[in-house]
Structure 1
Amino acid sequence: MGKNQQRAVQDFFYLDEIWKGSNSNNTCTEKSLHNEVGDFKTIYIHESKSVAIREYHSLYRKDCKLASTMGESSYIEMSFFLHSHTIKDNIAGQPREYLPYHGYVYFVPKGAAIKVVLEKNKNYRHLDMYLELGHFTEWIATHSFVRKFVNDVTAGRTAHLFPKGIPICPEIANLLLEIKSSELDEISREYYIKGKIFLLLSLLFQKAQSSTSPTPKGSVVFRQDEQDKLQRIADLLEKNLDKFYSIEFLAKEYALNEFKLKKGFKQFYGMGIFEYAVKLKMEQARKLITDNNHTFKEVAYLLGYSAPSSFSVAFKRATGLSPLQYRKGLTEKHKSHAMS
């Protein structure tokens, strides 16, 4: 593996400064890198003066170790790992591991040495939120463990709020999906996302306090290999928006009985498989309509609908507007911006 190729990967991630990496109009953009080390993509979901949200996708073709030194650090990082394998790192001499489908909150001070171990042929995907310390100080009065975290951050020490992580429950999964799919403009989007972040923190604190409680009634325990299969199914749905898959097909294809497939998907993703697939399709539909490079008929076929009328019904159910009304609204919005 060429040193220059690996350095390019390190620069791709570590030189991309928070609050300086994307454009300032809060629209979702992305960048990618492809070389002999692997395939990498960063999606900029939101960026303002106090909140930055990005989603990272990585596939390494060989085992890889990335090393860096933390630069200027003024933010808390909240990471949600959405893949099916554990990541190990070492920050300032302290080894840590991050479990699949778990959320973490941590702070890395300026000058800390960071080493991350990545394995070949594994897809890594995580959603990261970069927050100002003020998002946490309001919780000090009601959650004693937050006080120690805030004190450590203020003193410039490495800090982990939930060292063992918090499992991503359906409520958390839904909030992440709502944040990703928000299309509000400017200040409305900022308040919307901040509200969702406070809900996320509230859920994380609640789960941390009840982590020793027994498994909730009605929940099903899944082996790691079964969780892996559910993640692979979710990835399949996301990468094949032009298709619809039946429960029977997925159960047979991934050797998972139908009960566990339906129950597990709802337990981990907060909604049924069909509902999840349609939500992904509608997110893509909004992007395609906004781009204005396709007819509604083409959009329908690109998303697996056999007839434009079926797509129109699904789109109106999801957004409250027909595709035509949605496009007209975008056109009128652009005109008003141009005139102001």
Structure 2
Amino acid sequence: MAESIDESMAFKFEVEPGFSIIKLKNNRPIDKNFFHKGDSNVIQMHFGIQGSYQLNFNNGNYHLEIGENNSYLIYNPQVNLPVDLLLHARTRAIVLLISIDKFHSFFTKEANLIHFLNPENIEKKYYLEKALEPSLMIVLNQIYNYGLHSSLEKLYTRGKVYELLSLYFHQSDADDKQKCPYLEDDNNVEKIRLAKEILIDNFAEPPTLTDLANQVNLPLQYLKDGFKHIYGETAFAFLFNYKMEYARNLLTTKKYNIAEISFEVGYSTPSHFIAAFKKKYGSTPKKYLQSIGV
């Protein structure tokens, strides 16, 4: 049976025992809090569809930001982790809650392909952040924007959630993990997270990969492989996408001209910026604004 939890913000739906989905939204112009009691034997899978939200840990003393087109998987059998969120304005997201026993039943034959299902890792915490492929975004939007008769909702959602899991774990994450054993060390993961933050803080004039590796005290190849494993793309693919999204947001405000935006995101000439924007979005900035009616 579906369970309502402040329907202006969230809707929890039990796909089957031990497996639930929460659809989250904040259509208001201010941030909103959401809290759902957690359990140590539950895997949380977070999917950002629109906007962004903050995932809080340890009573808010530590948090992670989950953005649009991004995902975060977390499993920590050592503590009860609630779903403690701060939904920013104009945000839509989906959270899957799956008991570890139920998860095992899904992937019995494929357990060796998923790192934290291996018997030697079952009591270890595990987390994975990665960008969402277009195929995953399509399924997420289908789940979120369900439009069939209500009597079919459970059947439709159940099928789509299984499709989502299949697509999510299709990548050979275990192969990557075996090539990156240093990622089992939380300190190395934090160094790669720091590298991402350095890129964001200096996105207009980013350091070279060699300089970045030196700043976070990681071997260059470790940084390259680890960044791609955690975030699903290379460091400079991430940087390019971040710059384009930043530029797109500036563009839609109509407060800045092309030359100003070009300079803001680190391009030497407007023509270079226009070419990069077209590569990302398939049209020039001017045509993009026309297409969205701004």
Category of TM-score, reference length = shorter chain:
0.5 to 0.7
Given candidates 79, 94, 99, the residue that maps to 1:129 is 94
**2:180 counterpart of 1:220:** yes
Distance 1:279 1:221, change over 3 A: same
Given candidates 263, 267, 270, the residue that maps to 1:305 is 267
Aligned 8 A contact 2:213 2:223 in 1: yes
Given candidates 262, 265, 289, the residue that maps to 1:327 is 289
Aligned 8 A contact 2:192 2:223 in 1: yes
**2:78 counterpart of 1:80:** no
Q: What is the match of residue 96 of structure 1? A: 79
Aligned counterparts of 2:201 and 2:179: Cα–Cα separation in 1: 28
Across the aligned residues of Structure 1 and Structure 2, the Cα RMSD in angstroms comes to: 5.1
Q: What is the match of residue 295 of structure 1? A: 257
TM-score computed with the length of structure 2 as normaliser: 0.54
SS at 1:173's partner residue?
A: strand
Q: Deviations over 1:248-267 (max 9, x none)?
A: 21011111111111122122
Aligned 8 A contact 2:9 2:26 in 1: no
Distance 1:293 1:259, change over 3 A: same
**Aligned runs of 1:98-117 on 2, under 5 Å?**
none
SS at 1:244's partner residue?
A: coil
Q: What is the match of residue 116 of structure 2? A: none
Q: Cα offset for 1:241?
A: 3.3
Q: What is the match of residue 131 of structure 2? A: 174
Q: What is the match of residue 31 of structure 2? A: 31
Residue 56 of structure 1 aligns with an amino acid whose one-letter code is: Q
**Aligned runs of 1:201-240 on 2, under 5 Å?**
201-203=165-167, 215=175, 219-222=179-182, 223-240=185-202
Residue 174 of structure 1 aligns with an amino acid whose one-letter code is: A
Q: What is the match of residue 236 of structure 2? A: 274
Q: What is the match of residue 284 of structure 1? A: 246
Given candidates 249, 258, 273, the residue that maps to 2:211 is 249
Distance 1:252 1:274, change over 3 A: same
Q: What is the match of residue 18 of structure 1? A: 10
Residue 166 of structure 2 aligns with an amino acid whose one-letter code is: S
Distance 1:282 1:17, change over 3 A: same
Distance 1:291 1:232, change over 3 A: same
- Aligned residue pairs, count: 218
Q: Cα offset for 1:225?
A: 1.5
After TM superposition, the structure 1 stretch with the greater mean CA deviation from structure 2, 255-264 or 215-224, is: 215-224
Residue 220 of structure 1 aligns with an amino acid whose one-letter code is: C
Q: What is the match of residue 153 of structure 2? A: none
Report % sequence identity: 23
Q: Deviations over 1:195-249 (max 9, x none)?
A: 9965541156669xx99x7x56972211322111101111222344333221121
Gaps of 5+ in 1: 1-13, 34-43, 48-52, 65-78, 89-94, 99-113, 117-126, 134-139, 147-161, 335-340
Distance 1:237 1:177, change over 3 A: farther
Gaps of 5+ in 2: 1-5, 12-23, 34-46, 63-70, 85-91, 107-121, 147-156
Aligned 8 A contact 1:219 1:267 in 2: no
Aligned counterparts of 1:179 and 1:80: Cα–Cα separation in 2: 13
Q: Cα offset for 1:318?
A: 0.9
Q: Deviations over 1:16-70 (max 9, x none)?
A: 841585228xxxx66289xxxxxxxxxx9558xxxxx852155999969xxxxxx
Aligned counterparts of 1:30 and 1:237: Cα–Cα separation in 2: 28
Aligned counterparts of 1:253 and 1:196: Cα–Cα separation in 2: 43
Distance 1:166 1:285, change over 3 A: same
Q: Cα offset for 1:311?
A: 1.1
SS at 2:132's partner residue?
A: helix
Aligned counterparts of 1:96 and 1:277: Cα–Cα separation in 2: 34
Distance 1:16 1:249, change over 3 A: farther
The structure whose RCO (Cα within 8 Å, separation 6+) is larger is 2
TM-score computed with the length of structure 1 as normaliser: 0.48
**2:232 counterpart of 1:265:** no
